[in-house]
Structures are given as C-alpha cells and as structure tokens.
Structure 1
C-alpha cells in the first residue's frame, strides 16, 4: 500500500503550482513510483530526468501528478470504494464515467490539464517545441493511459508521438521522410540516451492484441544499421543498460518484420538472412560482455545492478532463440532449442527468487515476454507448463503486457497443439498455432481469440481458427489432455542458468 506522507520537499517554484492536497501525489510519484516504473532498468529517465523536468515544465508536472494520483487510486480502491473495484486492465479500463474514489477524480483532473497544456504547446510552438520535452511528456501521457487500461487511447498516443518525433528518433527509418525545412536541431543533452524508449514501447506493444496500430508500426523501425554494441571500457551500468535497450529494440523489431518473410522478394530475403546472421554474431559479443560483468571481470557489482544484468541475460537468451528460428516458416526449428529453452526458464526462476518484485505496474520489460515465448514456442510439454505456472503467479503488468490475459490467449494455441501430439509426443507442423487477434465482447464477458496455423493449406491460403475464452479463468491444458504430471519448477537445475 502506498504511504502518503506530508511532502518532504522544499521547492518555491513547485509550491506555486501544487496545492497542499495534491502534494502527496508528487511525493509518492518521486519517492516510489519512479522506481516501480523503471523496474529493473538503471536508465536515468524515471529516476532523474522526469523529476527534474517536472520541476521546470508545468505539463510534465501535471502528468506526474496524474500518474501519482491514479496509482494511489488503484492501490486504495478496494478500501475506499462502496463496491468492489477491479484493478484497471485492457478488458476493464477505468473511465471518467464512474470514479473509483477521490484519488481517481484528482488523477483525471490533472490528466486533463496535462493534455490541454500539451495540445496548446503543439498548436502554438510546433516549430519551436523541444523534441526532448515532447518525448518526455509523451511518455508520461502514454504511461497514464496504459496504467488506467485505456489501450485504444494509449495506442493512438504512441502513434501520434512517433509521428511528431520521427525526425528525432534514430530507430525510425528515415528513407522517404520529407526533409525538415529548418536546419536539424542538435541533440539536446540526454535525448540520445532516452530516444529509444518510445520505439521500445511501440515495438513490445506490437506483440500484444491490445495496441492494434503498433503491429503495423513495426515497419517504421530501422533494423539494419546502427546496432549498438557494448563498449568494453564502459564504467557505468546505466550506460550499458542504455546500449543494450537500443540493441534489444532493433532486434525485437527485426523479429516482427520477419513475420512476412516468405512474401518478400528473393533479394530482400537474402538481405534478411544476412541481417539475421549479423544479429546472432552481435549477440555473441554481448554474451562476452555480460560474462565479463558477471564473472568478476569488472569491479564489484552491486546486487541491484546484478538484477539488471540478469534481465539482460534473460532478454539475450530469448533473442538467441527467436532470432535463430524467426525465418523458419514451418516453426520446426524451435524443437532443436530445448536446452536453450531450459536455460531461459531457469534464468527467469532465479531472477524471481532473488529479486521478488513487488510493484503493480512497470514500463520496463522483464521476464513476462520471455516466459510467454517458452509457453508459445517450446513444444516440450513439461517446460511450457512450468512457464505457464510461473506466469499465473505474476501480479504486475509490464506496459501493455497483462500476464493473465496474455497467458490465456497463448494457451488457446497450446491447447490445440497439445491435443494434436502423436504417439511419439511430436506436434506436426500443420498442428502448430499462433495467437493472432482478440475481440472482447464485454456484454457476454467473452474473449473471441483468433489463431493462425503455422502452415497454410494446400492452396497456400492462411488457416484460421477461433476459440471462446473466459477472461477470468485460465485454460487448464493438462486436465483437457489427461496429463497428471506435476510441473514443478523445483525439477529445474538452476545451475543451468548461470552462464
């Protein structure tokens, strides 16, 4: 539960804009939420840049107050509401029609002010507006929408922000973009260290069924040049974190682009295969750097920094598997990576046991996406069911990634696959399915999930299938197929995940 103390800060500039009743929200935001939103990351965006910007920019301040008030409202909703109030999610977003409590009212009030200031700035100062300021406020507004579960508004904000900042974002493809009339602005201070955050939110959101525009926005990102590699002389974990996140964003975008690999002309297919090999080579370089940090090659690594390195290793292992197999249209190559899946799963278990996250919402990408890869791509029944069991215990959301909803969607495809195992325990390629889309029928409280078969029919046409899912009840795959095995993670050899 949040502690709501009297403000401990003395800032004459801020005191002119923050009423005494609202001071608790800024104190909560800067004293606790910045750590939760940054998650494992040691980037200075939440820990330093946003608090500083909030003390200088009224729009950023109102956004921070809105996030602080909304987070307070969510945590206190069960105690302050006359009726049971769900935590906001993609299926049950909070709205202005029904206020959960007085903190929710305050959150909406500050958010409306922030939006008005942001729109006025765009209308009056579009040619003068600082890209750094636009990026910071955009990320704050997107965070608010994701936090309250309004995925449609978050999706629109992300796309609008990308359009506004496309000449600033290095990950954005610049071919075909109209040249700016004025001389390009020099990079502002730490803009280069934070400009990847918006693309990363967009790219990761494109792998969910909730941010519909971000899947098509995957084509906007340049996955071919400027891959950031570790600087062996880098003394700071935060700089290593920034470099890795830039590399990670490009690599994950590459996987998304390859979903249409077979429809590309042959020259582009050859270029794509070459790029895949380049990324795999770069992943080996990153592994050497991680080994250097974790193996004592660097100075003493603090426990908090070690958690950051653990997540980087988990993400690297996930990329290794997915990049290696992403150009296989039959989806059969994943069967050769059982050892890699087992290592990935053990790394996730070790991270959870040693870090024990307590936050409810974070913008950072930690282990949820990695575990879902095991559920979806690993056809070893025991391993994928272990991963599903871990996800059921996760209480936090990672941006647009909601553990229960994402797991249920993936398990629909898993259920069809597990029913199709032959006597040898093998799942044929024409029985492998992927979750493609979801339609939510609020009146019936039903999820209509659409799945695409890995292999098309004899005429080359896509094969689709739909399942009706209960959003409040996870599919029990093992009961359906008669599996009585205990999929306990204690069976894992945790020493596998050390390197």
Structure 2
C-alpha cells in the first residue's frame, strides 16, 4: 500500500508527500528491512553465495517481502541522487552496504527470481555509493582500509554478475521480453561497475580512466531505446531504468561529446523512472557541465579545481526557473567547502558548446549503428 501511495503522489507531482511517505515507510518497515540489520555473520556462510535449487526454481512466499524490503530502500536512496528529496539522509548511515552475493543459476533460476536477486545486490551497491557521497559532501574521515576491501568485493561480484547475465543472454531460447529485461540489468551493472570502481577517489579524477566504459554505457542505452520492443504507454515506473546511467554520464564523464549526447537522450525521455524525471534532472546536470567546461583547458582536460557536483535544487514554478546549488570537489584554500549557485531556465536548456567552440549537434542516434 505504501508503494501505491508513493506512485500516486509521484504521478500527481506532490514531491513533498513522496518524501514524507518514503521516510514513513522506512520507519514502519525498520524491523523487516535486512539492510538495517547487522548481516556480517552471513559472510562465512554458503547461503551468502547461492540459494538452494528449490529456492531458485520458483517464487516462494518470502519473495514479495524480498522485493519490498529492497525496493523501498532503493527508491529512497535513488531519490537522493535527484537532489530534491531528503528522506534518505536519516536512513543511509544505518544501512548495511556489505556486498552480498547470491548469483542466479542459468537453466535453473527463473527470470523473476534473477530480478529479485539483482535488486538486492543493486540496493547494497547504492548504499555503498550514497555513503561515499555523504562522506564527500561533509568531508567526513573514512576507514580507507575497510572501504577499499568493500570496494574490491563489489567490483569482484559485479564481474561475476556480468558472467551470469551474459550466459543468460547467450541462450538462444530466451524470448525478446526476457532479453530486454537482461539488457536493462546489464546497463545498471555497468553503471555501478564504473561508479564503485571510482568511489574512493574524492577528486573524481579516476573517472577519466573509464571513458571507454562511459562510451559503452551510452551505446547500450541508445541500443535499448532503438530496440523494436513493445512501447509501454505507462509514464511512470519504479525501475532504475535509463535515467540514472544517463545522468551519471553527464555528471561524471568529462568527455564533452559523450556528455552532450547523454543530455540529448535524457532531455527526450518521455517517462518518469521512480524519483527521476529526466527532463527536470537534465536541467540541473547541465549546470555541472557548464561550470566544469568554463575551466576546461585547450586540450579538453578539466583540472581538479574545476570539477563540481550538483548538491540541491529549488524550483520556482511561477518563474519557471531552477535555483541549483553546486559543490566544488576541491575546497577553498582555507579548507572550507566551495559552493556556487546557478539560476537555470526550465524552458531553455543551457548548453556549453558555444563556450568551447563546439559546432556539433550531438545526436547519438546518428552516431551509433546497432
């Protein structure tokens, strides 16, 4: 019922009510959400690696609870990345981000169960990322040894998930709908591979080493959109979908062409994915590109003291403007945080192409051939 109410408020555009419902739901389910419990004892158990065949073969009564106890926290956390919600702040530090591997078995695990297992793993990955962002914004000290161990295990498990997903995709008997579902999961898998691989670098310089992965991520998104699969008339979905990977390319990939292509795609998405409204999100993210490319050198390199992240935003619907606050990754000389604000026109997307003398149109659908 909580999720139905949240979906209704999303569709109505009542974001304050959505934020309140997510916070209330997290408190009500506190004793049922395993992410809020200490699961360290599971790491030595075989159950942390695989389910029994009988559990994998079919949906058991606990599956619905498995879904809700990861869907609601994931929804709450992912909403934090949109910069318009606050409910995640009280719960993220209480959540367990320890990676837990439960791989599907090709030929045994049905697709619905695979999606549940992936949802559980993805939610833990999001907790890890959100904690990193929280520490970064607050200049919190971190246990780097523990963080590095957690990061290493996540990267290892993400690679194992890739192997399992490719095995499913190589099965000639799967239908088009199943293939499309697996393609969507592969997009999310590549996304968290990039983000978690770079999660310990507060300067975000390490993202520059993943330009080819960003290019592959954009290519996968474009191919997914060009796939002649069934076109849903639903304008809202709880799934992670395509908005978050596109927003990540815009915010973290410092290749101008890839960023602008992602902006083009995100600005043209016609549906809302959980807390993500692509056409609203792209406005704030374009401000990051503008700020960073003001400091770009003649070789297209953005130095550390010109790298920013979007912190928060406040809409003025009457003026149709977004007042966006940004955080520079390099602090001021005295060590204090550096913030700046931009007032962005909701109806006139700001591009930085003219700033750097770029003549391109940046339409990825013309650049990629499926």
**TM-score past 0.5 threshold:** yes
In structure 1, the residue matched to 2:163 is 288
Specify which of 145, 158, 174 is matched with residue 301 of structure 1. Answer: 174
2:218–2:246 Cα contact (<8 Å) kept = yes
1:316 aligns with 2:180: no
CA RMSD of aligned residues (A): 2.0
In structure 1, the residue matched to 2:129 is 255
Specify which of 454, 462, 478 is matched with residue 329 of structure 2. Answer: 454
Alignment of 1:153-168 (within 5 A): 153-168=17-32
1:205–1:215 Cα contact (<8 Å) kept = no
In structure 2, the residue matched to 1:118 is none
2:66–2:116 Cα contact (<8 Å) kept = no
Cα deviation, residue 260, structure 1: 4.2
1: CA distance, partners of 2:290 / 2:124: 32
Cα deviation, residue 279, structure 1: 0.2
SS of residue in 1 equivalent to 2:315:
strand
Alignment of 1:251-400 (within 5 A): 251-261=125-135, 263-265=139-141, 268-296=143-171, 300-354=173-227, 355=229, 356-400=231-275
Alignment of 1:34-45 (within 5 A): none
Q: How many residues align?
A: 345
Q: Deviations over 1:125-160 (max 9, x none)?
A: xxxxxxxxxxxx111111111111111111111111
In structure 1, the residue matched to 2:54 is none
In structure 2, the residue matched to 1:147 is 11
Alignment of 1:51-450 (within 5 A): 137-173=1-37, 190-224=64-98, 226-232=100-106, 234-261=108-135, 263-265=139-141, 268-296=143-171, 300-354=173-227, 355=229, 356-450=231-325
Gaps of 5+ in 2: 40-60
Larger Rg: 1
SS of residue in 2 equivalent to 1:333:
helix
Cα deviation, residue 460, structure 1: 1.5
Specify which of 328, 336, 360 is matched with residue 485 of structure 1. Answer: 360
Change (3 A) 1:387 1:188: closer
> Under a length normalisation based on structure 2, what TM-score does the superposition of the two structures give?
0.88
Change (3 A) 1:475 1:242: same
Q: Deviations over 1:217-256 (max 9, x none)?
A: 3223211153433345533111001100110111011111
2:99–2:153 Cα contact (<8 Å) kept = no
1: CA distance, partners of 2:99 / 2:194: 21
1:229–1:247 Cα contact (<8 Å) kept = no
SS of residue in 1 equivalent to 2:334:
coil
2: CA distance, partners of 1:226 / 1:164: 24
Gaps of 5+ in 1: 1-136, 176-186
In structure 2, the residue matched to 1:43 is none
